[in-house]
A and B are shown apart, each in its own frame.
With several copies, the nearest count.
Chain A
Amino acid sequence: MPQEKLTSLKEAIEMVPDGATVAIQNMATQSAPMAAVRELIRQGRTGLEVVALVGGIPIDLMAAAGSMDRFTGAAVSMEQFGLCQAYRNAVESGEIVVQELSETALNARLGAGARNLPFLPTRGLIGTDLIAINPDLVMISDPFGGLDVVACRALIPDIALIHCHRADRFGNLQMEPTAVWPDIGIMPKAANKVIATVEEIVDTEVLRNSPERTFLPGFMVDAVVEVPFGAHPTSFNPRYGYDTAFHHEWIAVARDPEGAKLWMERYVYEPDTQEEYLDRVGGVSRLEELKRWEITE
């Protein structure tokens, strides 16, 4: 019987100190640990360096709330919903500093972090302006006489925040095979601590029926929290689609600090529980629509 990792969202997020480097699973409109991100904001965390492959609405909310002052990743976009306006404003005004990496360079930095190596190389980015401005990237020669490579310095996030389909109370994490893109391949392995929210907690025996779906063993996980619809308003394939109306609602207010503040009150600060949050986003009937992937507007 391994160590118990089940806890509350509040306690889990209290593990994240101000100024921490927090890696967030995300991809434009997919699979973000949104309940965890809202709790981070609610707890008033500041000075975070947020790491994401492609960040969407979680980045925008943290930017609007003043939680983060650095972003490290490959892109920030909500795809068809457009740019993240609060993030964009904060970058343009110098409040958020961006370390922009190509995908292979981010993978190399995290891969080195996971494998206890000082760096890993890539051949991406060569010829771009992104190398010279980044102290964590440097061209080195090949000791075997081949082409030069870009050495990418190891990145070890303090915390990885991820959302998964199921786990047992010991933190063994499973994902459905259809959720393949968001960055769970290397991010949680690189981080010093892993906090996972999951759609459901199940008995360990359930996991033993499909051990190939467990992608992180419990001993690498520090906290696991049951949060149904924990990725809303992003999609969580195959369970539910992204919430188009909710994204639009945010975008409509994101440019306006006053409007954003009211919106944040309503959806982030006021709801004490995930149930209350889900009620405010439309309750059961809305969630049923999302489960049917009614997303083409």
Chain B
Amino acid sequence: MNDELSIDWTVDELMITSLSATLDNDDQACNGMASFIPVIAFQLARLTHAPDLVWVASAVGVDARPERVPASTLEAPLWRDSVMYLEQYSTFWDIVLKGSWLQKFCVGAAQLDRYGNGNNSVIGDDYHRPKVRLPGTAGLGDMGSIGKRLFFWNPNHNPRSFVEKVDFVSCAGWLGGGDEREQLGLTGGPELVITNLCVMDFHPETKHMRLKSVHPGVTVEEVQEATGFELLIEGSSAPETVVPTVEQVGLIRDVIDPDGMRLREFGR
């Protein structure tokens, strides 16, 4: 294993390795649509510290072996060579709901508030006449409520995405903070947020979003400026996010995603 740190890593690779580090050897992981960062993170984890991790490609293909990351993370080339196909109604959700498996989900949300509540439904005050109609809650409206551990990623950290209060809660986070989730009988919940600027977690008591590390070259002030609510910052500064190793960068660039599909998440 080559533990030497990369000197030419880029932020997409840093987000991938940060997400990969959250995965354990006995996890199962699955991805939804337009999920290049998670898909590459799962494959990277399997090739490095979590060889037993089971990846369910597109929530369809168990232990898939795609040739390379294709242009869609929800189409058949991704679930090539699977050991099993899951059918949405009768298999996938039965497995997810059972609770023992697929405990971590990587999710994206158009808006996220200080308590990790997510919004993929509408922008604007009136749900029925929205300023912007977003895609919709899809599986996220389930994942937030059925005891899963949520890992958010966002390649474009800005105050319109990180807001004081989401316009509409389509994914249950820590709700109003504290023990509000617990009172509704909800287990799991938001755990980590990985962006192009930093990594954030949640205060164990208040459930307030908290700066965990800043990426090299980014200041705490820059993160706060890009965040639409007051971020919890413990101490006078924050540790630096661990950068990818030479090995990790090589695997991402040459083996997993040689076509650079991950850059599409950054509008490139």
Interchain CB contact (< 8 A) of B170 among A129, A185, A216:
A129
Q: Is the Cβ of B184 less than 8 Å from the Cβ of A79?
A: no
- The answer, yes or no, to whether A107 is at the interface (CB within 8 Å) is yes
**Does any Cβ of B come within 8 Å of A103's Cβ?**
yes
Q: CB of A297 within 8 A of chain B?
A: yes
Does A64 belong to the interface (CB within 8 Å)?
no
Query: Chain B: interface secondary structure?
Result: loop
- Whether A97 pairs with B128 at a CB distance below 8 angstroms is yes
Are B127 and A116 in touch, CB under 8 angstroms? no
- B contact residues around A3 at 8 Å (CB): 26, 52
Number of B residues, CB within 8 Å of A:
74
Task: Write the nearest CB–CB distance from B161 to chain A, whole angstroms.
Answer: 16
Stretch in contact with the other chain, from A9-17, A69-77, A266-274: A69-77
| A180 partner, pick from B34, B88, B259, beta carbons under 8 A | B88
Q: Please, how many angstroms separate the alpha-carbon atoms of A296 and B86 in the complex?
A: 25
Given contacts A181-B60, A183-B88, contact A1 B52 (CB under 8 A): yes
Considering the chains assembled together, what is the distance between the CA atoms of A122 and B84 in angstroms?
Answer: 26
Q: Which residues of A sit under 8 angstroms from B245, Cβ to Cβ?
A: none
Counting chain A CB atoms within 10 Å of each CB, the highest count among B58, B59, B84, B137 belongs to B84
Point out the residues of chain A lying under 8 angstroms from B175, CB to CB. Answer: 127
A107, A212, A244: the one within 8 Å of B93 (CB): A107
**How many of chain A's residues have a CB under 8 angstroms from any CB in B?**
83
Q: Is the CB of B145 within 8 A of A128?
A: yes
* A128 & B135 in contact (Cβ 8 Å cutoff): no
Our pick among B59, B70, B87, B129 for the contact of A94 (Cβ within 8 Å) is B129
Known A-B contacts A116-B97, A128-B171, A181-B88; the reply to A295 vs B70 at CB < 8 A is yes
A281 at the interface (CB under 8 A from B): no
Spot the interface stretch: A25-33, A42-50, A223-231: A25-33
Contact: B84 with A125, CB < 8 Å? no
Q: A186 to chain B: which residues have CB within 8 Å?
A: 89-90, 94
Neighbouring B residues of A204 by C-beta, 8 Å: 63, 83
* Contact A54 B98, beta carbon cutoff 8 Å: no
Closest to A79 in B: B33
Query: Chain B residues near A1 (CB, 8 Å)?
Result: 51-52
Contacts A181-B59, A183-B88 aside, 10 further interface pairs with beta carbons under 8 A come to A54-B33, A77-B136, A83-B133, A103-B141, A125-B172, A127-B186, A204-B63, A214-B83, A217-B86, A295-B71
